[in-house]
Amino acid sequence: MARRSRRACLVSTVATANLMPNAKEPTKSSWLRDRPLLFVDIDGVISLYGFPSDAAPEGTWSQVDGIAHLLSATATRHLHALAGSYELVWCSGWEEKANEHLPHLLGLGPYPHLSFPIGNGSEHWKIAAIEAHARGRPLAWIDDAHDESCWAWAERRTAPTLLVPTDPATGLDDACALRLVEWAATLSPRSG
């Protein structure tokens, strides 16, 4: 009898812990689960640069790791609105720092972020991480530094793919946001 109760205690101590006690249940809505991804660069999309010093765009100056950034109010408004049509993913050299700084500075996120391995490939340094995260889902990618390899990769993808280039002085502006909204609307109708 004592042996049986000791064994029960040992078995109960190795039960799998719930590592995500506050996680939401998976959604039954296929549209929410399968929304297109929006990969969002930060520098040149949200954090603006290259504008004339006497014509700074609307935004807030902030220090991030000792570096001054003008965080665009326009881009912030658009990303809040786009979160209803897309699943946002940080796609920036900021990597995990995006979630350390942007949620409290702009009220954006936290969102998944990509990490970029050092590689010697001939393609843009973000493509492999984007492709691995997307796993064949439709995606849009907004960035100020798309190169020829990005456009060639987008053409090769079998899933719908939209690249949205930005001017780093204006970032995610009204025209870019409208393009993203219109493209998302062309994808399969919402159901579920």
Give me the pLDDT at residue 189, please: 58
Give me the pLDDT at residue 23, please: 42
64 Cβ contact partners less than 8 Å away, ≥ 6 residues apart: 97, 101, 105
Homologous superfamily (CATH) for 29-186: HAD superfamily/HAD-like (3.40.50.1000)
Are 62 and 85 a contacting pair, CB within 8 Å?
Answer: no
Mean pLDDT by 10 residues, the chain (192 residues): 47 38 47 82 97 94 94 97 96 92 92 85 87 95 97 97 98 98 85 44
Characterise 174 by phi-psi region: left (phi > 0), alpha (psi -120 to 50), beta (else): alpha
Are 65 and 75 a contacting pair, CB within 8 Å?
Answer: no
Give me the pLDDT at residue 7, please: 46
Give me the pLDDT at residue 34, please: 72
Give me the pLDDT at residue 118, please: 77
Give me the pLDDT at residue 32, please: 54
